[in-house]
Amino acid sequence: MIRVFIIAPSSVVRAGLRSVLADAGFEAVGGTQDLGSLDEELLESEPDILLVDGTHDAGEGGRAGLALADVTDQAAVVLLADQPDQARIAEAFRNGVRAVLPREISAPQLQAALQAVAAGLIVMHPAEVSVFLPTPTSSATEIVPLVEPLTKREREVLQMLATGLGNKEIAARLVISDNTAKFHVASILGKLGAATRTEAVAIGIRHGLILL
């Protein structure tokens, strides 16, 4: 059973989330009203997921990622936020958040997202993807061709990057050395013209190189 710890300012919201979790077979192992209240209760409850109601600030989820790192390395952070902009979404993911979802998300969607996060995936709601990806301009509406096509192995590595795996995890899955994994990642960034892994994944999605 997937164990979830809830952070939400409103006791009503916490109760509602507990009900949604229970209906899908999740176990709500605890809850508190804000990040400042994180204490031994979180550590002792050993959650798989930390569900954060970020109210009006996507950065709240980013800070949750940082705070969580101080007490446990077992839980993935899922953020519920009100229309966060691109910068705040990026900040949240950089700080370890595994999913950014709108607060008005339906119960089935939230349950599916939590299942995906528990399985190791990074999740974004379609409404947030449109904010996160660059908006095409009238003078550049076509997808820019790749500098060079990705090899089959590079496409495998890119798919793993999309799930949030690091070099060591990729190397272990493909039974290759860490240096070889780093080489593949560097080659992917170069071919996609990306500066970061996150940007590479975004470009890969636009080119249909990643299975969602």
Query: What does the pLDDT average to over 28-50?
Result: 77
Let me know whether 23 and 116 are in one domain.
yes
Please tell me the total count of domains within the chain.
Answer: 2
pTM score, whole prediction: 0.57
Name the percent of the chain lying above pLDDT 90: 26
pLDDT at residue number 72: 42
pLDDT band at 84 (very low <50, low <70, confident <90, very high): low
The CATH code of the domain that includes 174 is: 1.10.10.10
Separation of alpha carbons 115 and 113, rounded Å? 5
Return left, alpha or beta for 158; rule: phi > 0 is left, psi -120 to 50 is alpha, else beta. Answer: alpha
- CA pseudo-torsion sign 58, 59, 65, 71: negative
Lowest mean pLDDT among 33-42, 48-57, 162-171, 187-196: 33-42
- Statement to judge: residues 120 and 166 lie in one domain: no
Residues 21 and 60 placed together within one structural domain of the fold: yes
Q: Per-residue pLDDT for 142 more than 60?
A: no
Say which residue, 46 or 57, is predicted with more confidence. 46
Task: Say if residues 80 and 124 touch (Cβ distance below 8 Å).
Answer: no
* The domain boundary residue, chosen from 77, 101, 125: 125
Closest CA to 101 of 132, 74, 73: 132
Largest CA distance in the chain: 55
Final residue before a domain boundary, out of 86, 109, 125: 125
Same domain assignment for residues 46 and 10: yes
Show which of 67, 96, 125 is a domain's final residue.
Answer: 125
Identify the H or E element spanning 4: strand 3-7
Flag whether pLDDT at 88 surpasses 80. no
The torsion region of residue 181 among left (phi > 0), alpha (psi -120 to 50) and beta comes to alpha
Q: Which domain holds residue 49?
A: 3-125
